[in-house]
Structure 1
Amino acid sequence: MRLHDDELEVDEPLVHRLLATQHPHLADLPLRALGRDGQASGSSNRLLRLGDDLLVRLPRQPGGSRALETERRWGPLVAAALPAGVDVPEVVASGRPGEGYPEAWSVTRWIEGTPPAVPALAPYAGSSGPLARDLAAVLRGLRDAPVPAEAAADPALRGYRGGRLGDLDEDLRETAAVCAALPGWADLGLDLDRVRVVWQSALVAEAALEVAGPVAEGWLHGDLLAENLLVRKGRLAAVLDLGGLGVGRQAVDLVVAWEVLDAPGRALLRELLDVDEATWRVGQGWALLLALITFPYYGRTMPARCAARRAMAAAVLDAVVDVGPVVGPG
């Protein structure tokens, strides 16, 4: 299924040819595409299972090689900072453009597991506490991981998700207007007036943080959502897709609390990370923004993603009671 207007053509015969010419020792392994329904495959990369232990990842769009290079270059450093037992994709072979395909590609080790449940779509039978503890350990690892000077100065690691919410105010408001005009929007039950009020409270909170002093920066995943996580027996097993790694403000990664944790799990994660009120509100703002930008782009092609983002936004709107002024930490 095509997800983008500029989608590159990728099929199994093409991948067979790429493997045969560049990694012939892998070419005889059975190959099968994942996500023929557009859901289980990634939106950035086409995914094909290679044998029992490997996965081939090919960018869907021109320029997608940059994300794979980010993952190859900086992924091992970040992986070393994550808690024991949480895997990341291990690149075992890199591919170059060829056979008419213009992008670099990679082969990684297959990691067993399933994405965590979104509570609003599949309520927890027990508690999300264990997952909250695992996610807190991941976020703590990212927060504390050293940022080499080379990484801090790398423009490829400076994306909008590590920047200021305030710089995206116009984007949020324009996206909200687009969403309001989407067919069936009213059926989603997301009050856009309420979205704007909670968003504004996030901007006020961000301003309070900035008045209090320089906002700390560090490593961020940038897309820490259910589809980029794997669990086994309720415990976090892997963090996927490190192509969006960045250096900057880290509040964006708090969105994971609003998609994959129930209310007690969110409270536990916040406690374990000692997140102040202002930063928590900024994380809520990111959750609303990342939810809203999903609907116009993926509404027809990835309904499961849209359902998860709708649940994430609803969790924020349902949880926020006080949108009054907030002061920065200290």
Structure 2
Amino acid sequence: MHADQVDVGADVVAALVAEQFPRWRGLPVRPLASTGTVNALFRLGTEIVLRFPLRPFADPGLDAELRREQEHALLLAAHLPVEVPEPLGLGAPGAGYPGPWTAYRWIAGETAAADQVGDSDAFARDLADVVVALRGMDTGGRSWSGTGRGGPLSSQDADVRASLAVSGGLTDTVALTELWARCRDTPRDDLTDVWIHADLMPGNLLVRNGRLVAVIDLGAVGVGDPAVDLMPAWNLLDAGARETYRRALGVDDATWERGRGWALGQAVNALPYYVDTNPVMADIARRTLRAVLG
């Protein structure tokens, strides 16, 4: 998926585990099929999942970033009404893989999709409960860090416009350009930042028996605009459940429009990038763009 991607095999993973975590030596390692775009996943035994960043050279602060992700996992576990990944270890670079990697306890479930979600309104309410819990966590007075999602939509303008410029054959860029300008320029009267997951994509939500049971992939967690966590309204939920989600969160018109903008921006950036390399991500992007225009 990425020009600078590092591929790692199960034999290399097994050797790294044996060297760095001797207590797990001998547990079987098998790669997991995934449509994710950040990590290669491996099942270690029955209780552990290993995450190897696909682009270990992309961020010189990757080790600190992974440590922060594990700290966030512990913090969120104490507040959210669903499971989050439990950190079990942080691996170091070694033979065959040049970067840090992580170990978490395995959470059983299927990624959220229309055929996995039972009652879509109940799912929307479950997801809203997670977002309400996030928003209720103490930020300690912190605000958006200045990077990633969570700041003003204008911070995404250059990337969105560049993606729109190369997507003419993929989606309705004329309508999306007009909508983007409207969302981007929607004022934010309440500047109070809250805790946000910031990447509530279908692949980061796990369901069992049709109900939401876990929120995973906490790499984007931080403090920022609450509108960011409205993205599932368009990237996952149908029209009826979308309104259920909005009512459960008590969202005003301006916040809703910014949320639409965040969903638009994520999708239009993903579509041209993954159209040839990750069909599932491209399909989610197309569905999202249809929804934001609806």
TM-score, length basis structure 1: 0.83
- Compare 129-138 and 70-79 and name the one that shifted more: 70-79
Partner of 1:297: 273
The alignment partner of 1:162 has SS state of: coil
| 1:199 equivalent in alignment to 2:187 | no
Asked whether the equivalents of residues 113 and 230 of structure 1 are also in contact (C-alpha less than 8 Å), the reply is yes
Quote the Cα distance in structure 1 between the aligned partners of 2:292 and 2:182.
Answer: 12
Asked whether the equivalents of residues 58 and 105 of structure 1 are also in contact (C-alpha less than 8 Å), the reply is yes
Asked whether the equivalents of residues 35 and 281 of structure 2 are also in contact (C-alpha less than 8 Å), the reply is no
Alpha-carbon deviation of 1:179?
Answer: 1.1
Partner of 1:179: 167
Partner of 1:130: 122
For 2:156, give the aligned amino acid.
L
Partner of 2:24: 26
Query: Pairwise CA RMSD of aligned residues?
Result: 1.9
Partner of 2:135: 143
Quote the Cα distance in structure 2 between the aligned partners of 1:234 and 1:9.
Answer: 34
Cα deviation 1:14-38 (Å, max 9, x = unaligned): 1111111111111211110012xxx
Q: 1:255 aligns with which of 213, 226, 231?
A: 231
Cα deviation 1:181-237 (Å, max 9, x = unaligned): x5xx2xxxx3211111211221232x2x2xx3x422011111111011101111111
Cα deviation 1:212-271 (Å, max 9, x = unaligned): 3x4220111111110111011111111011011121112111101112211111111111
The alignment partner of 1:94 has SS state of: strand
Indicate the percent of aligned positions where both proteins have the same amino acid: 40
The alignment partner of 1:236 has SS state of: strand
Partner of 2:109: 113
Asked whether the equivalents of residues 258 and 312 of structure 1 are also in contact (C-alpha less than 8 Å), the reply is yes
Quote the Cα distance in structure 2 between the aligned partners of 1:295 and 1:203.
Answer: 19
Asked whether the equivalents of residues 35 and 278 of structure 2 are also in contact (C-alpha less than 8 Å), the reply is no
Aligned residues: 290
| 1:314 equivalent in alignment to 2:287 | no
For 1:177, give the aligned amino acid.
A
* Structure 2: runs of 5 or more not aligned: none
Asked whether the equivalents of residues 130 and 234 of structure 1 are also in contact (C-alpha less than 8 Å), the reply is no
Quote the Cα distance in structure 1 between the aligned partners of 2:140 and 2:48.
Answer: 30
The alignment partner of 1:179 has SS state of: coil
Cα deviation 1:84-126 (Å, max 9, x = unaligned): xx111111122112224222111111111111114xxx597x6
The alignment partner of 1:4 has SS state of: coil
Asked whether the equivalents of residues 175 and 292 of structure 1 are also in contact (C-alpha less than 8 Å), the reply is yes
Quote the Cα distance in structure 1 between the aligned partners of 2:21 and 2:230.
Answer: 39
Runs of 4+ aligned residues of structure 1 deviating over 6 Å after TM superposition are none
Asked whether the equivalents of residues 158 and 246 of structure 1 are also in contact (C-alpha less than 8 Å), the reply is no
Quote the Cα distance in structure 1 between the aligned partners of 2:196 and 2:116.
Answer: 28
